[in-house]
Amino acid sequence: MAFLDIHHLEKSFGAQRVVRDFNLGIEKGEFVSFLGPSGCGKTTVLRMVAGFETPSSGEIRIDGRDVTGIAANRRKIGMVFQAYALFPNLTVAQNIGFGLRIAGEGKAGIRARVAEMLELIGLPQLGGRYPFQLSGGQQQRVALARAIAVRPQVLLLDEPLSALDAKIRVSLRDEIRRIQRDLGITTIFVTHDQEEALSMSDRIVVMHQGVADQVGTPFEIYNRPATRFVAEFVGTLNLLDADLMEAASGRVRLGDVSVALNRVLPGRNGDRISLALRPETLALGRREGSDIILSGHVAEMNFLGSVIRIRVSIAGQFVSLDTFNQPDCPPPAVGTPVEVSLSGRDLLVM
């Protein structure tokens, strides 16, 4: 049995089923993200784990103990929310020590633990400040320190970075992960940001309309999406329509090129099917080892700095691909005829 076990969890608000047959096991010390669009039920699952919301049915176990009917304050859970929920009238140190004081810990013990937490979040000098004297990123660090000061068994983070500026968001990702690893604390991190989930997680749960569509490592989720929703929601995806010529051998017609994918494809001969591929599996020009070459012209060119994203028009369809900037080799201008190389094995059939 996993450290945190969620079994057949369901939640309805009135007639609306918001969470449906949600199952998940999280190992001790694991960092798992819930990734999905707004309204898919991420917060609702988190609130049920925390004990702020009662499941319609199902079971939640932490370290072997069924906590489903147990009050939030007796579950040993630390939580951080999107909006800074610090107490405005308390100092940073008082905020961090709040839970310990409620738990009846002595003054000296609280002081030592608060100092340790301030050190952990890299703000050893700021214990005497008030929340309004801190930046957004500092406030979220303090919220994190407050959540873990009480030594919870499980840490729940509900979009803790969403309200911050892009640069701070990226640096706080690494910091949260460092602290989480140092403490070895089992963590659920909720986000609608795929890059955040991919870069931070041991495993990701991709949620869609209250259902866990796929659970896997970032590598698995990105490279082997289980559903079309996962494929489209996680990462950039090129979709190409093709005509299925021979399902048994995987022969398809893409524009005016006939391509053999050498695997059995779903559907019947003559069907219109959808092929998907990631931008980085495409190369501009003829690439050695690629078995498919398509001809087209540059429809758009976005110079992004280290990477150049090029949109190529191929027989009325479009694919995007990325090339690295090379200072001595300017990217092709819009309208330039180009060839695009790809490998049949990289094509996902949707």
Sites of contact with ligand ADP (CB under 6 A): 13, 18, 36, 38-44
205 binds, among Mg ion, ligand ADP, none (CB under 5 to 8 A by kind): none
290 binds, among Mg ion, ligand ADP, none (CB under 5 to 8 A by kind): none
Handedness of CA 319, 322, 323, 327 (dihedral sign): positive
In angstroms, give the least distance from the CB of 182 to ligand ADP: 28
Q: How many helices and strands (H and E) does the chain possess?
A: 8, 20
302: Cβ contacts below 8 Å, ≥ 6 apart: 308, 309, 310, 311
Closer to Mg ion by Cβ: residue 55 or 332: 55
Distance CA 53, CA 147 (A): 19
39 binds, among Mg ion, ligand ADP, none (CB under 5 to 8 A by kind): ligand ADP
Distance CA 247, CA 28 (A): 45
In angstroms, give the least distance from the CB of 16 to ligand ADP: 6
Which residues between 165 and 204 bind Mg ion (CB under 5 A)? Answer: none
Burial category of 196 from C-beta neighbours within 10 Å (exposed 0-12, middle 13-18, buried 19 and up): buried
Closer to Mg ion by Cβ: residue 43 or 201: 43
In angstroms, give the least distance from the CB of 208 to ligand ADP: 10
In angstroms, give the least distance from the CB of 137 to ligand ADP: 22
Closer to ligand ADP by Cβ: residue 41 or 99: 41
Closer to Mg ion by Cβ: residue 43 or 95: 43
Closer to Mg ion by Cβ: residue 38 or 306: 38
44 binds, among ligand ADP, Mg ion, none (CB under 5 to 8 A by kind): ligand ADP
Closer to Mg ion by Cβ: residue 42 or 113: 42
- The 3-state DSSP class for residue 11 equals strand
In angstroms, give the least distance from the CB of 54 to Mg ion: 18
Closer to ligand ADP by Cβ: residue 39 or 335: 39
Which residues between 24 and 83 bind Mg ion (CB under 5 A)? Answer: 43
Tell me the angle at which helices 166-183 and 136-149 cross, rounded to the nearest 10 degrees.
20
Handedness of CA 161, 117, 68, 83 (dihedral sign): negative
- Tallying the residues shown for the chain, one arrives at 350
DSSP per residue, 186-239: EEEEEES-HHHHHHH-SEEEEEETTEEEEEE-HHHHHHS-SSHHHHHHSS--EE
Question: Three-state SS string across 61-127, please?
Answer: EECCEECCCCCHHHCCEEEECCCCCCCCCCCHHHHHHHHHHHCCCCHHHHHHHHHHHHHHCCCCCCC
218 binds, among Mg ion, ligand ADP, none (CB under 5 to 8 A by kind): none
131 binds, among ligand ADP, Mg ion, none (CB under 5 to 8 A by kind): none
Residue 40 DSSP one-character state: S
In angstroms, give the least distance from the CB of 44 to ligand ADP: 3
Beta partners for residue 172, in sequence order: none
41 binds, among Mg ion, ligand ADP, none (CB under 5 to 8 A by kind): ligand ADP
In angstroms, give the least distance from the CB of 39 to Mg ion: 8
Closer to ligand ADP by Cβ: residue 43 or 95: 43
In angstroms, give the least distance from the CB of 58 to ligand ADP: 15
Give the binding site for Mg ion (CB under 5 A).
43
